Each structure stands twice: as C-alpha cells, then as structure tokens.
Amino acid sequence: MCKVKVEQRLLCAPETVRAEMHPAILLLTAVLMAPPATAHVHPHTFLTTPEIIQARGYPAQTHHVTTSDGYVLELHRIPRGRGAAGGARASTLSMSSLQNKIFNRGKNSSINTKENGKVVFLQHCLLCSSADFVMNDPDQALAFILADLGYDVWLGNVRGNVYSRRHVRLSPNQREFWDYSINEIARYDVPAMLTYVREVTGSPTISYVGHSMGTAVFFAMMNYHPQINNWVRVMAAMAPVAYLHNSRFFKIYEDYLELLDVTTAKLGIEEFLMNDPGFAKLASVLCSPLSPVKFICSAIRLFLFGLNSDYVDKNYQSVILAHNPAGISSSVMRHIRQFNVSRQFQAFDYGATRNQREYGSTSPPRYSLARVTVPVGLFWSEGDWLVDPCLCSKEALVSLRLTEDLLCPDLPQDVRQVASELPRSSSTTGFL
C-alpha cells in the first residue's frame, strides 16, 4: 500500500510507477477542483478602459494621435463627471485630508466645482496603461475623483502598451517596433499627446499627473522640449522616478534583474510582459472570491503594493491582474535599471558606437531636472519598494520648483535646509 510523505512524493511498491507531484500539477488540480468561478468574476475584468469608465456611469471618449516617428497612440478621455449635462457640475465629495490638500489647497473640503475649463493629463507607470487610473471605486480612483471635481480628464498610453500597438509602417512583430526607451517616450509620445489635448480642448495650459515612469518621462521631456513648461500649470509627481540607486527594490533584486537583462538581450526578446488575454482569464479564476488559491493573488498584491495595501479592493484583484502588465519594450526595462546601475538620471546607454551616433558622445547625456520650471509636487508612500523619498537625491530637490506645503515631511535636516531656501509657487490657488 502506498504511503504519502510530506515531500509530496508517493512511495509505492516496486511494480508501481512512482509519480511526483509537480507544483504546477497541484496548482492545476486546485483550479480544476474550484467551484465554477465565472459566476464570481468581477464584471470589469475583461473590459477596456473606456468600457470601465462607462460602466461606472461616466462619459468616455477614445482618441488617437500619431507621433512624428510614426507610433499611433490611444488616449482616453472623461470629459466631465457623472450626471453632468455639460461642463463641470457642482459636487460635494467626501475627500481625505491628503486628497483635499493635493487637489484643492486653501479651500474647504466641501468643494464646489463650477470652474470650467480645467484640463488634466494623467500618465501611467511602467508596464501600466490608462486603466490604472480607473480601476477602483469612483471615490478612490484618481481619474473619477478629478472628473467629479469638474476636470476634463485625459489618460495617456505610451507606445507598445496594450492600447498603443500600432505604427504607420511597422508591426509589433518587427524588431524595429520595439527599438525605443524612455528617450523616445519623452521625446515623442508625451509631447504628441499634450499637443493633441491642447488642440482638442482649446486650453493653453494643462495640469500633469505622472505616476512612477510617468514622472520620469515628464522630467526627461523638458530636456528635449523646454517650451512645454509654458503649457503646464503644475505637475504632480506620484512615486517620482529619476534617481534609483537607493531603491530597496534594486538592492534586493539587482542580481536577478541583471540576469533577466542579459537573457532577454541574448534571446532577442524585444517586448517585455505583453498583455495576454489568456492571463486575464486565468486571473479571473485564480483571484475569484471562492478560489482555493486566491492567496497567490494576495501574494502578487503584496509584491506590487507593499504591506499597506488596504486601499486595494481584494475583490478587484482579478481586474488589476487582467490589465497589468500592459506591455512595454525590453529597452525601457533596461533604461529603468540603468538609472540604478549608473546612479544617474540619463538618456539610454546604447554602447559607445551608437551613443556617438545618437548623442555625439560615447556616453549618454544626463537629463537635467533644472529644465523643469513648472511647480512640482512630490508624493510617495513609505511602503514603496521602488522609489526612495524625494528622488533619492539632494540635486533633485535643489533643481525642482517644489510647491508650497508639499515638501517631504521626513527629509534629512541638511536637505530640508537647502530645500527651504528654494523659491515656492505662489501663483496657484489650487494645486491643479
């Protein structure tokens, strides 16, 4: 008679075939034994960003813009809040003190939004898409909060993600399609989207909100197009990325990331973590409330959002994992890692030969944060594994024009002294 040992190996009589329970078999067995998950799949799991917006009761629009180097980018727009017949509606929202401070400084928490014409552009993070700003309840998702406050909300999508996989002459199956880094996103994508938003809305100025990589491309963009400073009223940098050499994430995973970098380069893998409909279906099963292996989703949530992930709706996990990762080029991943290895915020390092051709020097030029002249607010979480507070650098604080009252609360004293002497923005009554 067979005996079962804790190593999950069956020790049977000699004439019996010995079988080993591979973890994948255990996982598959758990999935097959689970109750039918389709009845418990969140209805937003397989929706696009515009469909999620409409499902929440907001108007949604889809726009396309072609960059000067041929990429066709998709933008999503929420022109007004729920129930607004036109323009902004008066809205009273129950906002946290932080939200109130960010979006309505100097006003009461009971907010009347009869100010028409304010346009805000939201740029997503690494491996993300426009969906990241709408994947939560309306009082928790930034895009919906701003729409209900009377803003004309625009959501960008950079080249190569699930919504921006077209080109006027290239196919995603061609290597050349993926030959881009943060350089190109900053030089072509974001300027093209901001130009388009200004043309459509007729608004000369736009408020910019960047998350993680969305901040890095903004800072880099001003090195290519300093005139865009005149278009931006204010910039909110959430989990700002520029200097990453103090990042806990890289300190822990740098060896693995180096191996991944080398492996993808040798194998010629140009697209990194594409958005896969099959993965969305798997996530809908694994992350359903009745799934016996939903702890896997909880572990992923812990990795993505840290220990303080109480604001992440556990029933929304399948939606998040169905939309993320959204795809990016492997070169962008290498560029982010380069920020850590080089200890510099600089253009992509192609190697001496191509650097000479691209930049006129054998090493990549540094991005200067001093080129950013708009008021900037820095926001981060102490639980963020990737971002070290205040861009990990005194230089960043000295260079940026920080908005009043939004300075980092836990700065070292010497940095606080330098930052306190910087000019503050006094012309904006509200942050956005």
Q: What's the CATH number where 231 sits?
A: 3.40.50.1820
Span 342-387, pLDDT tens digits: 989 999 999 999 999 999 999 999 999 989 999 888 777 766 777 7
List, as one string, the DSSP characters of 241-262. Answer: -S--TT-HHHHHHHHHHHHHHH
> Higher pLDDT residue, 22 or 185?
185
pLDDT at 291: 76
Task: Please say if the pLDDT value at position 336 is more than 80.
Answer: yes
Q: Please give the structure tokens belonging to residue 310.
A: 């109480």
Q: Please give the structure tokens belonging to residue 406.
A: 């939004």
pLDDT band at 8 (very low <50, low <70, confident <90, very high): very low
pLDDT at 394: 54
388 within a domain of the structure (yes/no): yes
Q: Please give the structure tokens belonging to residue 90.
A: 């008066």
409 within a domain of the structure (yes/no): yes
> Higher pLDDT residue, 309 or 265?
265
148 within a domain of the structure (yes/no): yes
Range ranked top by mean pLDDT from 21-35, 261-275, 362-376: 362-376
pLDDT band at 402 (very low <50, low <70, confident <90, very high): low
397 within a domain of the structure (yes/no): yes
210 within a domain of the structure (yes/no): yes
pLDDT at 378: 79
Residue 223 contacts residue 368 (beta carbons within 8 Å): yes
pLDDT at 310: 61
28 within a domain of the structure (yes/no): no
From residue 109, how far is each of 58, 59, 90, 101, 294 by CA, in Å? 23, 25, 13, 9, 38
pLDDT at 345: 92
Number of domains the chain contains: 1
Residue 124 contacts residue 156 (beta carbons within 8 Å): yes
pLDDT at 224: 98
pLDDT at 40: 64
Span 204-221, pLDDT tens digits: 999 999 999 999 999 999
pLDDT at 304: 59
What number of CA atoms fall less than 13 Å from residue 50's CA on the CB side?
Answer: 12
Q: What is the mean pLDDT of residues 378-400?
A: 64
Range scoring the smallest mean pLDDT among 61-70, 243-252, 332-341, 363-372: 243-252
Structural domain boundaries, residue 183: 51-244+371-420
Task: Please say if the pLDDT value at position 47 is more than 50.
Answer: yes
pTM: 0.77
Span 136-175, pLDDT tens digits: 889 889 999 999 999 999 999 999 999 999 999 999 999 9
Percent of the chain predicted with pLDDT > 70 = 66
Q: What is the mean pLDDT of residues 87-106?
A: 40
User: Among candidates 183, 197, 47, 221, which has minimal Cα distance to 122?
Assistant: 197
Span 110-142, pLDDT tens digits: 333 334 569 999 999 998 999 999 998 898 899
Calculate the average pLDDT of the chain.
76
419 C-beta neighbours (distance < 10 Å), count:
19
pLDDT at 200: 98
Burial 92-130 (b: 16+ CB within 10 A, else e): ebebeeebbbbbbbeeeeebebeeeebbbbbbbbbbbbb
Q: What is the mean pLDDT of residues 75-87?
A: 81
Residue 124 contacts residue 130 (beta carbons within 8 Å): yes
Task: Please say if the pLDDT value at position 431 is more than 50.
Answer: no
Say if residue 340 is exposed, middle or buried (CB neighbours under 10 Å; 0-12, 13-18, 19+). buried
Residue 132 contacts residue 300 (beta carbons within 8 Å): no
432 within a domain of the structure (yes/no): no
Task: Please say if the pLDDT value at position 400 is more than 80.
Answer: no
pLDDT band at 6 (very low <50, low <70, confident <90, very high): very low
203 within a domain of the structure (yes/no): yes
pLDDT at 271: 82
Q: Quick one: DSSP state of residue 147?
A: H
| Whole-number Å distance between alpha carbons of 193 and 154 | 9
Contacts of 137 (CB under 8 A, 6+ apart): 313
Range scoring the smallest mean pLDDT among 20-34, 128-142, 268-282: 20-34
pLDDT band at 287 (very low <50, low <70, confident <90, very high): confident
> Higher pLDDT residue, 52 or 383?
52
